[in-house]
């Protein structure tokens, strides 16, 4: 079945999610909803055809993230982390590892996640790399020690794509089975939002890495090699924009009984439409002017936060009660201020919030 034929079922799933509030505490894992997503073919979407996937173009994948985030940020986020892991495998020269992993990922026999933020946005101010890599005296591979500070869905994943830094400053990325001795997945961390993503840290103690498990490197700045959505990429904007659009759709439903709210929703929806047009142009390759990845992410961050806050204000005390979709939207909107958010985007949002100009 082509993706176009699958789309109505995906849209129906998104619509059904719009009317549900998925529990977001660490005690919950959205197994049933993820299984539904897999049945809709989500694990195939980003995988090349030669490995059994649908090989959707990047622009289409981004629109999919946007649409899915209208329904559930939790599910979309878990999928993006899984796909980020796949992407690093797809762009690797290590084709034998790709042949081993990608068909199984595609068939949902394996689940993967990514723990790479310590090579991009996390712990950048520290002198010692979060994950140190040394030669393994007993093989032609390596030993990994340290801590992967962030990995979502870690307890469910069979494979984690992660990396570390050698003594000479070069870095590598590898795909490691999560059952590898010395790899200790911590308990899921309680979070402001998205606790059900089971995000946590992973301790590495002399974790053996075989040479044939390396995907990229060792080389300088390994994260700038091998395409596929770095920190603050357009894909992350797709998720933020979709989350804002989903919030505004729910807010709009509130206005059905209270038309006085429309005066507040309308400007937000107009802003979302303008951002969506610029985002779509950027996804199609036009990143000129205000359509740079950073500028779009900054606008999306601002919109998702203001949309959720406006909706909460409109829902009054009822929306402030735990379990209401509006309070969840407010908490989840904060996620974009910290997740995969490069320094210039963060500074832009801070300037806006503190009214400190540009």
Ligand X SMILES: Cc1cc2nc3c(=O)[nH]c(=O)nc-3n(C[C@H](O)[C@H](O)[C@H](O)COP(=O)(O)OP(=O)(O)OC[C@H]3O[C@@H](n4cnc5c(N)ncnc54)[C@H](O)[C@@H]3O)c2cc1C
- Phi and psi at 310, nearest 5°, equal -65, -45
Name the nearest CA neighbour of 72 among 80, 61, 83. 80
The interface with ligand X within residues 129-188 (CB under 6 A) comprises 149-152
Helices 262-283, 293-320: axis angle to 10 degrees equals: 150
Considering the complex, what minimum distance in angstroms separates the CB of residue 338 from ligand X? 4
Residue entry with tokens 């036009």: 286
Applying CB under 6 A, the span of 34-42, 139-147, 284-292, 334-342 interacting with ligand X comes to 334-342
36: which 2 tokens?
């539904």
Applying CB under 6 A, the span of 113-121, 202-210, 220-228, 295-303 interacting with ligand X comes to 113-121
3-state helix, strand, coil in the chain (%, to 5): 55, 15, 30
Say whether 313 sits in a helix, a strand or coil: helix
Considering the complex, what minimum distance in angstroms separates the CB of residue 241 from ligand X? 18
Considering the complex, what minimum distance in angstroms separates the CB of residue 339 from ligand X? 5
Q: Which of residues 100, 123, 225, 306 is near ligand X by CB under 6 A?
A: 123
Bridge partner list, 131 = 146
Q: Which of residues 176, 194, 209, 240 is near ligand X by CB under 6 A?
A: 194
Q: Which of residues 34, 40, 73, 116 is near ligand X by CB under 6 A?
A: 116
Q: Which of residues 53, 71, 115, 232 is near ligand X by CB under 6 A?
A: 115
Q: Which of residues 46, 63, 76, 81 is near ligand X by CB under 6 A?
A: 81
Q: Which of residues 303, 339, 342, 348 is near ligand X by CB under 6 A?
A: 339
Would you say 150 or 311 has its CB closer to ligand X? 150
Cα 48 from Cα 61, distance rounded (Å): 13
Cα distances (Å, whole numbers) of residue 342 to 5, 117, 336: 37, 11, 11
Q: Which of residues 63, 67, 83, 117 is near ligand X by CB under 6 A?
A: 117
The pairing of strands 142-151 and 131-135 is antiparallel
Q: Which of residues 1, 8, 32, 125 is near ligand X by CB under 6 A?
A: 125
Q: Find the DSSP H helices in 117-261.
A: 234-257
Would you say 10 or 85 has its CB closer to ligand X? 85
Size of the residue set binding ligand X (CB under 6 A): 22
Taking residue 61's Cβ as centre, other Cβ atoms within 10 Å add up to 21
- Residues interacting with ligand X, by CB under 6 A? 81, 113-117, 121-125, 149-152, 191, 194, 199, 335, 338-340
């Amino acid at each position: 079945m082509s993706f176009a034929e699958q789309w109505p079922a995906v849209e129906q799933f998104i619509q059904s999610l719009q009317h549900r509030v998925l529990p977001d505490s660490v005690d919950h894992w959205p197994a049933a909803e993820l299984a539904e997503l897999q049945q809709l073919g989500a694990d195939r979407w980003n995988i090349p055809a030669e490995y059994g996937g649908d090989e959707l173009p990047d622009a289409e994948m981004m629109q999919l993230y946007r649409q899915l985030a209208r329904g559930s940020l939790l599910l979309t986020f878990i999928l993006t982390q899984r796909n980020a892991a796949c992407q690093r495998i797809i762009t690797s020269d290590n084709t034998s590892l790709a042949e081993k992993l990608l068909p199984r990922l595609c068939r949902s026999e394996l689940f993967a996640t990514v723990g790479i933020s310590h090579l991009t946005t996390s712990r950048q101010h520290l002198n010692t790399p979060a994950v140190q890599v040394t030669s393994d005296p007993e093989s032609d591979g390596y030993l990994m020690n340290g801590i992967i500070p962030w990995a979502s869905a870690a307890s469910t994943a069979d494979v984690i794509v992660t990396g570390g830094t050698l003594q000479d400053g070069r870095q590598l990325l590898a795909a490691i089975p999560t059952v590898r001795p010395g790899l200790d997945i911590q308990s899921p961390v309680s979070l402001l939002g998205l606790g059900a993503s089971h995000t946590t840290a992973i301790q590495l103690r002399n974790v053996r890495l075989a040479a044939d498990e390396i995907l990229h490197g060792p080389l300088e700045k390994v994260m700038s090699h091998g395409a596929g959505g770095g920190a603050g990429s357009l894909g992350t904007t797709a998720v933020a924009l979709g989350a804002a659009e989903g919030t505004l759709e729910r807010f709009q439903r509130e206005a059905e009984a209270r038309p006085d709210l429309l005066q507040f929703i309308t400007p937000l929806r107009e802003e979302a439409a303008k951002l969506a047009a610029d985002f779509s142009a950027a996804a199609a390759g036009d990143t000129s002017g205000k359509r740079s990845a950073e500028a779009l992410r900054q606008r999306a961050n601002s919109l998702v936060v203001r949309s959720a806050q406006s909706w909460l204000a409109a829902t009054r005390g009822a929306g402030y009660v735990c379990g209401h979709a509006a309070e969840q939207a407010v908490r989840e909107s904060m996620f974009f201020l910290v997740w995969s958010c490069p320094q210039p985007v963060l500074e832009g949002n801070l300037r806006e919030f503190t009214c400190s100009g540009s």
